[in-house]
Amino acid sequence: MSAKRVRPSHPLTLIVGMTLACTSAQAQAQSVQSDDETAPHDTARHKNGNREGAHRSAARRDKALHDGALQSRADKSDRPDTRARQPDSADAVPGKGGEENLLVRGTGMNILHQPIGLGRMPEDIMHTPQTVNAVPQILMQQQNVKSLDEALRNVPGITASVGEGEGGMAGDQFLIRGFAAQNDIYENGLRDFGVYTRDSFDYDHISVIKGPSSEVFGNGTTGGAINIVTKVAHLGDSYNAQFSGGSGEYYRGTLDVNKQLGDASAIRITGMGNENNVAGRDNIYSHRWGLAPSIGFGLGRRTSFTLEYFHQSDNRIPDYGVPIVTKPGSTIGRPATEYGLNRHNWYGTNYDQDVSNVNMLTARLNSEISQHLTISDDLRGGLYDRYFSASQPGCDATCQKLFFTNPSAAQVNRRGHLGGPEPYQQNDWSVQNVFSARANFRTGSIRHQIIAGWDVEHIYDRRKNYAYNFNGQNGTRTDTTSLVDPSHVQPGLLLGGFGQYQYDLVNLSGGAGRKLYKTGDATDVGAFFSEQMWLAPWFSIRGGFRWDHWNSHYFATEGATAADTRLSQQQNTINPTVSLMYTPSDNTMVYFNWARSTTPLGLYVTNSAEPLKSSTQGFKPEKASLYEIGVKQQFLHGRLGATASLFRLEKGNALMTDPSTGSVSSSSDSQRNQGVELSLSGQITRNWSLIGTYAYYDATTTGSLTPADIGKRIQYAPKNMATIWSTYTIAPNKPWNLTFGGGLTWRDSVWLDAANTARVPHTTEWDAMVSHMIGHRWRLALNGYNLANRLNYSNLFSDRATPSVGRTFLGSLSFTY
């Protein structure tokens, strides 16, 4: 195999061409359109309507938005609505006379009006008895968000990891409140099984449900779940095109076209082309493109059907960061860049590559059978293929000593450290079907809402392993490069699995050879039921449970002389939840919530090189329990929303990862995270908006097989986190209008291991934005990121950390019709 990196064709050219064509055509058509098409920017209160649990889409002339993943019409009842109405979804549209009006349909900045985005949780955030953070469409537009990772920087308690040891996976690897959430990413309520870096071009909004949510989502969700609501076809015509460019040779084009086909049908196509390097890091790039068409039938009617397709291709260089080093005389390790190492240093080779292709087809049916019964059925099939090869730098005791005494002699071992990762080709497929029914009825004076259904999913993973060879020999323990002045060229390094080295598999410690193929599959059959009862107009109780039967298999076959590995495991789990809700007024809710989640071993088939091992088959599942009390309050006639919650999250049978092998080594540790979360979001005045969050975490190991770890902080869980973003528009409706925005992302220092011997310092990032409306349709904006050019760290692991992007500026020009 050639050492030359594979660079994809350039889809950006196509996107830019489509952008210009769309712009030209719509500019000509603009003169015959009425300005009445433009919605006012103010998301003031709407009149109360009928409410029976589900969030009814606000009809706005003929532009009613259909989103089957959100809610159907509310079931009619004689109980008045207790929430302020807001449109359901968002599209970028400028206002009249140069006013910065980004939304035609949307919840604005008050996230309490944001729907969760799935039928199993039909309420908006205001009426959901749990901490839920949201990233609304308008915020992503103002910040010019380009990926899921960027969007989630607005959510406190989320950190990113670059993968674990032998199974080292890049892609999106998130932790919520310090607990792994790599398999807790959902799209329109269906699990996204792929391991890849998600672009945000097709996102409408994002919700992060904090704490165990297995009653809704099934196994997993110890720290919470991330649900992405995508853009879908809606009634009415809309067109949007945007081009961005700036630091790090960043070029990006997006297109969003919606066309109404008939009285109740429409088609929508969103597309993206993106090419960029990373400011502040050498040799890192991403070249990707994506396309997401959808078509809807019966939009705005009692029965609707939506068909959606999603494709994303990405060719990028994985970045495993810089090693952690411990200064002589100290017991705490820190990233080597904290001691003067160049933040640009990258320790990879010409063979490093992360190439992924994702294809998902989703069908969603929603039908209001009667005013008392609504059913929905969501079906998705996914295909994921990926080639992954990364260098994982490690600085041993000798390297660390030389770094402080003779830096030019310090050598980093970038191959085989912590057991991997070695190159592999991954091919996955998945299928999932979720059926739910929502019934509303009365028994005397008590009103009921029942939600019940089933969830069936199957995932299959197959990997072909390759190996590195150094000077024709198996294993590359001598594959090193300078810590201070690294080179991506390694003489004598060859990639096994190709040509004359196709059978040269790496020999692991103990003499066992690596198997050529590793396959895994998992099947989950779940049934869920919940009931909410209004014992009084101002007080309700909700209880529910979900039963799951989880069955997983793992095989390692061919290639090595050792015997094949064939393992299987099955689990039956029940996860309940109970909530109490007190709503003394339309704008206030006080609640208590208790919930439990279960995470069986072998759950993460696509996210682990060895999801099952013979030594771990007897381990019990992880179990987590959440106790939470909170209040949600709206002010200024529903324009401003605030939340406050106290929680305690207890986790038992924690599956601990051995840092020397990347495999599960114990299952008897217990952990606790308790704290407070606050948020404030909305419109303070017509021209001034803000969204801010704060979290305080007391995260501690309460029991461990290693007594010294008891009482230590949980790794990856900061003690404090805060985010704020605010914008103000000057001279709206004037040709000289300007909108200024800015914000801060702050995260306390984070421990990287259970023993608290390695730590990254706090993160402080200042961002800003200025924009100007040119006429009614054009928007010109400039975004600045990490304006202080501070050395922060994004992706974290036990012995390394990845420096964040340096100071970056991106300009953008968009046209909306």
* DSSP per-residue codes, 250-277: EEEEEEEEEEE-SSSEEEEEEEEEEEEE
Residue 31, pLDDT > 80, answer no
Residue 773 Cα distances to 491, 736, 814, 816, angstroms: 55, 8, 10, 11
- How much is the average pLDDT of 521-549? 96
Residues 6+ positions from 692 with CB-CB distance below 8 Å: 679, 680, 681, 722, 723, 724, 725, 726
- pLDDT reported for residue 385: 94
Residue 712 scores a pLDDT above 50: yes
pLDDT tens digit string along 135-148? Answer: 999 999 999 999 99
pLDDT (tens digit per residue) in 578-602: 999 999 998 999 999 999 999 887 7
**Percent of the chain topping pLDDT 90:** 61
What is the C-alpha to C-alpha distance for residues 353 and 162, in angstroms, rounded to an integer? 14
Output phi, psi for 268, to 5 deg. -135, 140
Token pair belonging to 406: 């003779």
Using pLDDT thresholds of 50, 70 and 90, give the confidence band for residue 562.
Answer: low
Task: Give yes or no for residue 700 having a pLDDT over 90.
Answer: yes
Looking at the chain, the whole-number percentage of residues with pLDDT higher than 70 is 76
Query: What is the model's pLDDT at position 767?
Result: 97
| pLDDT tier for residue 351 given thresholds of 50, 70 and 90 | confident
Residue entry with tokens 């994702």: 358
Mean pLDDT of 380-393: 91
**List of E strands, 353-483:** 353-370, 373-389, 411-413, 424-443, 446-465, 467-470, 473-474, 480-482
Name the least confident of 98-102, 104-108, 356-360, 761-765: 98-102
* Distance from C-alpha of 109 to C-alpha of 137, rounded to nearest angstrom: 9
Lowest mean pLDDT among 302-306, 425-429, 642-646: 425-429
What's the pLDDT score for residue 118? 85
CB 394 within 8 A of CB 413: yes
- Write the CB contacts of 261 (distance below 8 Å, at least 6 apart in sequence): 267
What are 785's strand-pairing partners?
A: 808
Look at residue 705 in the predicted model and tell me its pLDDT. Answer: 83
Q: Is the pLDDT of residue 808 over 90?
A: yes
Q: What per-residue confidence (pLDDT) applies to 169?
A: 56
Name the residue among 141, 64, 120, 177 with its Cα closest to residue 671.
Answer: 177
**3-state DSSP helix/strand/coil percent for the chain, to nearest 5?**
10, 50, 40
Dist CA 792 CA 279 (whole Å): 13
Contact of 177 with 224, CB cutoff 8 Å: yes
What span, in angstroms and rounded, lies between the C-alpha atoms of 137 and 724?
16
Which helix (H) or strand (E) covers residue 674, if one does? strand 664-683
- Say how far apart CA 377 and CA 303 lie, in whole Å: 12
Phi, psi of 403, rounded to the nearest 5 degrees: -60, -35
* Average pLDDT rounded to a whole number, residues 439-466: 93
pLDDT per residue over 781-792, tens digit each? 999 999 999 999
Q: 355 forms bridges with which residues in the sheet?
A: 315, 387
Most confident of 78-92, 180-194, 504-518, 628-642: 628-642
Helix (H) or strand (E) holding 207: strand 203-210
- What is the token pair recorded at 245? 């460019």
Average pLDDT, the chain: 82
Residues 114 and 207: beta-carbon distance below 8 Å: yes
Q: Is the pLDDT of residue 463 over 80?
A: yes
* Mean pLDDT for the stretch of residues 725-751: 95
Q: Which residue has the higher pLDDT, 510 or 258?
A: 258
> How do residues 100-137 score in pLDDT, each as one tens digit?
444 334 457 899 999 987 888 999 999 999 999 999 99
Which residues are paired to 356 by β-bridges?
314, 386
**Average pLDDT of the residues in 149-176:** 76
What pLDDT is stored for residue 610 in this prediction?
A: 64
- Res 448: pLDDT: 97
Contact call for residues 631 and 643 (beta carbons, < 8 A): yes
Between 118 and 84, residue with greater pLDDT: 118
Residue 154 is given by DSSP the state G
For 613-659, what is each residue's pLDDT tens digit? 655 556 778 899 999 999 999 999 999 999 999 999 999 877 665 44
Q: Is the pLDDT of residue 54 over 70?
A: no
Residue 507: what residue type?
N
Q: What pLDDT score was predicted for residue 99? A: 43
Q: Is the pLDDT of residue 506 over 60?
A: no
pLDDT value at residue 85: 33
* DSSP code of residue 173: -
pLDDT for 466 equals: 74
Using the predicted structure, report yes or no on whether residue 480 has a pLDDT greater than 90. no
Which of the two residues, 39 and 376, has the higher pLDDT score?
376
Q: How far is CA 5 from CA 355, 430, 465, 683, in A?
A: 11, 30, 19, 48
pLDDT over 80 (residue 70): no
Average pLDDT over residues 766-774: 97
More confident residue, 535 or 389: 535
**Which tokens is 592 given?**
């208590």
Q: How does DSSP classify residue 421?
A: P
| 89-98, 256-265, 702-711: the lowest-pLDDT one | 89-98
Question: Are residues 279 and 783 in contact, defined by beta-carbon separation less than 8 angstroms?
Answer: no
What the block records as the tokens of 543 is: 């209880």
Q: Specify the pLDDT at position 119.
A: 84
Contact between residue 782 and residue 756 where contact means Cβ atoms under 8 Å apart = no
Residues in CB range of 191: below 8 A, 6 or more apart: 183, 185, 217, 218, 430, 432, 457
